[in-house]
Protein backbone atom coordinates (compact mmCIF):
# COMPACT_ATOMS: atom_id res chain seq x y z
CA UNK A 1 0.00 0.00 0.00
CA UNK A 2 1.00 3.62 -0.42
CA UNK A 3 2.29 5.37 2.70
CA UNK A 4 1.19 8.79 3.95
CA UNK A 5 4.56 10.15 2.86
CA UNK A 6 4.03 8.89 -0.70
CA UNK A 7 0.51 10.35 -0.82
CA UNK A 8 1.76 13.78 0.31
CA UNK A 9 4.72 13.75 -2.05
CA UNK A 10 2.74 12.54 -5.07
CA UNK A 11 0.09 15.16 -4.34
CA UNK A 12 2.67 17.97 -4.12
CA UNK A 13 4.47 16.97 -7.28
CA UNK A 14 1.32 16.25 -9.26
CA UNK A 15 0.11 19.74 -8.32
CA UNK A 16 3.40 21.24 -9.46
CA UNK A 17 3.00 19.51 -12.83
CA UNK A 18 -0.73 20.43 -13.01
CA UNK A 19 -1.63 16.75 -13.17
CA UNK A 20 -3.55 14.28 -11.04
CA UNK A 21 -1.67 11.77 -8.94
CA UNK A 22 -2.55 8.81 -11.20
CA UNK A 23 -1.18 10.48 -14.35
CA UNK A 24 1.87 11.69 -12.48
CA UNK A 25 2.41 8.14 -11.18
CA UNK A 26 2.42 6.81 -14.75
CA UNK A 27 4.89 9.51 -15.83
CA UNK A 28 7.11 8.80 -12.84
CA UNK A 29 7.09 5.05 -13.53
CA UNK A 30 7.99 5.63 -17.21
CA UNK A 31 10.88 7.89 -16.18
CA UNK A 32 12.04 5.38 -13.57
CA UNK A 33 12.24 2.63 -16.22
CA UNK A 34 14.09 4.97 -18.62
CA UNK A 35 16.54 5.94 -15.86
CA UNK A 36 17.27 2.28 -15.08
CA UNK A 37 17.92 1.60 -18.75
CA UNK A 38 20.04 4.73 -19.15
CA UNK A 39 22.16 4.03 -16.06
CA UNK A 40 23.27 0.69 -17.46
CA UNK A 41 23.26 1.22 -21.23
CA UNK A 42 26.64 0.19 -22.66
CA UNK A 43 26.97 3.09 -25.11
CA UNK A 44 27.21 6.71 -23.84
CA UNK A 45 25.06 8.13 -26.65
CA UNK A 46 22.32 5.65 -25.72
CA UNK A 47 22.48 6.85 -22.11
CA UNK A 48 22.12 10.45 -23.27
CA UNK A 49 19.21 9.56 -25.57
CA UNK A 50 17.34 7.69 -22.82
CA UNK A 51 17.77 10.62 -20.41
CA UNK A 52 16.47 12.95 -23.14
CA UNK A 53 13.38 10.73 -23.33
CA UNK A 54 12.93 11.38 -19.60
CA UNK A 55 12.91 15.14 -20.25
CA UNK A 56 16.52 16.14 -19.51
CA UNK A 57 17.62 18.85 -21.98
CA UNK A 58 20.83 17.43 -23.43
CA UNK A 59 22.86 19.02 -26.23
CA UNK A 60 24.83 17.29 -28.95
CA UNK A 61 27.86 15.08 -28.36
CA UNK A 62 27.28 14.89 -24.60
CA UNK A 63 28.89 12.10 -22.60
CA UNK A 64 26.78 10.67 -19.76
CA UNK A 65 28.56 8.17 -17.48
CA UNK A 66 27.18 5.08 -15.78
CA UNK A 67 24.87 5.51 -12.82
CA UNK A 68 24.23 9.24 -13.31
CA UNK A 69 21.09 10.39 -11.48
CA UNK A 70 19.32 13.33 -13.07
CA UNK A 71 16.51 14.63 -10.86
CA UNK A 72 13.85 11.93 -10.84
CA UNK A 73 10.91 14.27 -10.35
CA UNK A 74 11.97 17.33 -12.37
CA UNK A 75 14.32 16.16 -15.15
CA UNK A 76 13.05 18.97 -17.38
CA UNK A 77 14.78 21.51 -15.10
CA UNK A 78 18.23 20.21 -16.11
CA UNK A 79 20.03 21.53 -19.19
CA UNK A 80 23.38 20.24 -20.42
CA UNK A 81 25.22 22.06 -23.21
CA UNK A 82 26.93 20.58 -26.24
CA UNK A 83 30.16 18.61 -25.74
CA UNK A 84 29.71 18.43 -21.96
CA UNK A 85 30.70 15.35 -19.97
CA UNK A 86 28.94 14.07 -16.86
CA UNK A 87 31.06 11.43 -15.11
CA UNK A 88 29.95 8.18 -13.52
CA UNK A 89 27.71 8.29 -10.44
CA UNK A 90 27.04 12.02 -10.43
CA UNK A 91 23.81 13.37 -8.94
CA UNK A 92 22.02 16.46 -10.29
CA UNK A 93 19.06 17.45 -8.12
CA UNK A 94 16.81 20.34 -9.16
CA UNK A 95 14.60 20.17 -6.08
CA UNK A 96 14.71 20.01 -2.29
CA UNK A 97 12.11 19.40 0.38
CA UNK A 98 11.82 18.67 4.04
CA UNK A 99 10.44 15.55 5.67
CA UNK A 100 6.77 15.31 6.58
CA UNK A 101 7.51 16.91 9.96
CA UNK A 102 9.68 19.75 8.60
CA UNK A 103 7.61 20.82 5.57
CA UNK A 104 6.62 24.13 7.20
CA UNK A 105 10.21 25.18 7.87
CA UNK A 106 11.67 23.60 4.73
CA UNK A 107 9.05 23.49 1.96
CA UNK A 108 9.57 21.92 -1.45
CA UNK A 109 11.52 24.16 -3.81
CA UNK A 110 12.77 23.79 -7.37
CA UNK A 111 15.31 25.65 -9.49
CA UNK A 112 16.96 24.79 -12.80
CA UNK A 113 20.47 23.42 -13.24
CA UNK A 114 22.45 24.60 -16.26
CA UNK A 115 25.65 22.90 -17.36
CA UNK A 116 27.43 24.94 -20.05
CA UNK A 117 28.99 23.90 -23.32
CA UNK A 118 32.18 21.85 -22.93
CA UNK A 119 31.88 21.43 -19.15
CA UNK A 120 33.51 18.36 -17.60
CA UNK A 121 31.87 17.12 -14.41
CA UNK A 122 34.12 14.38 -13.04
CA UNK A 123 32.81 11.21 -11.33
CA UNK A 124 30.96 11.34 -8.02
CA UNK A 125 29.95 15.01 -8.10
CA UNK A 126 26.72 16.40 -6.69
CA UNK A 127 25.14 19.45 -8.30
CA UNK A 128 22.32 21.14 -6.41
CA UNK A 129 19.32 23.12 -7.56
CA UNK A 130 19.76 26.59 -9.02
CA UNK A 131 23.38 26.10 -10.08
CA UNK A 132 24.85 27.26 -13.37
CA UNK A 133 28.26 25.99 -14.44
CA UNK A 134 29.85 28.22 -17.08
CA UNK A 135 31.16 26.81 -20.32
CA UNK A 136 34.48 24.98 -20.51
CA UNK A 137 34.74 24.53 -16.76
CA UNK A 138 35.99 21.43 -14.99
CA UNK A 139 34.47 20.14 -11.75
CA UNK A 140 36.87 17.94 -9.74
CA UNK A 141 36.07 14.40 -8.63
CA UNK A 142 33.59 14.19 -5.75
CA UNK A 143 32.89 17.92 -5.58
CA UNK A 144 29.59 19.33 -4.34
CA UNK A 145 28.51 22.28 -6.47
CA UNK A 146 26.02 24.43 -4.57
CA UNK A 147 26.74 27.81 -6.21
CA UNK A 148 27.44 29.08 -9.71
CA UNK A 149 30.83 28.41 -11.30
CA UNK A 150 32.17 30.98 -13.77
CA UNK A 151 33.22 29.94 -17.29
CA UNK A 152 36.71 28.52 -17.91
CA UNK A 153 37.24 27.52 -14.29
CA UNK A 154 38.56 24.55 -12.37
CA UNK A 155 36.39 24.05 -9.27
CA UNK A 156 37.00 21.52 -6.49
CA UNK A 157 35.81 20.56 -3.05
CA UNK A 158 32.88 20.61 -0.68
CA UNK A 159 31.49 23.09 -1.35
CA UNK A 160 33.12 23.47 -4.76
CA UNK A 161 35.25 26.59 -5.12
CA UNK A 162 37.09 27.93 -8.14
CA UNK A 163 40.77 27.15 -7.61
CA UNK A 164 42.08 28.11 -11.03
CA UNK A 165 41.05 29.97 -14.18
CA UNK A 166 41.73 27.91 -17.31
CA UNK A 167 43.58 29.48 -20.25
CA UNK A 168 43.37 28.29 -23.84
CA UNK A 169 40.06 26.44 -23.52
CA UNK A 170 37.07 26.49 -25.78
CA UNK A 171 38.61 25.16 -28.98
CA UNK A 172 37.12 21.91 -30.17
CA UNK A 173 39.83 19.23 -30.24
CA UNK A 174 39.10 16.50 -32.76
Lowest mean pLDDT among 123-132, 141-150, 162-171: 162-171
Cα separation of 88 and 70, whole Å? Answer: 12
| Right CATH for 4-165 from 2.40.340.10, 3.20.20.140, 3.40.140.10, 2.160.10.10 | 2.160.10.10
Record the pTM. Answer: 0.87
Cα separation of 153 and 18, whole Å? Answer: 39
Cα separation of 161 and 172, whole Å? Answer: 26
Q: Helix, strand, coil proportions of the chain in percent (round to 5)?
A: 25, 25, 50
- In terms of Cα–Cα distance, which of 96, 92, 84, 97 is closest to 67? 92
**Domain residue ranges in the chain:** 4-165
Question: pLDDT per residue over 98-129, tens digit each?
Answer: 677 777 777 778 999 999 999 999 999 999 99
Amino acid sequence: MISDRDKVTFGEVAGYHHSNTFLFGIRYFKNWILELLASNAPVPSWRARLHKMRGVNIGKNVYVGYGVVFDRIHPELITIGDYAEIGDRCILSAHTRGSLTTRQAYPRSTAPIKIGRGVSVNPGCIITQGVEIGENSIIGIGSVVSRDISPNSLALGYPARVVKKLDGVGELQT
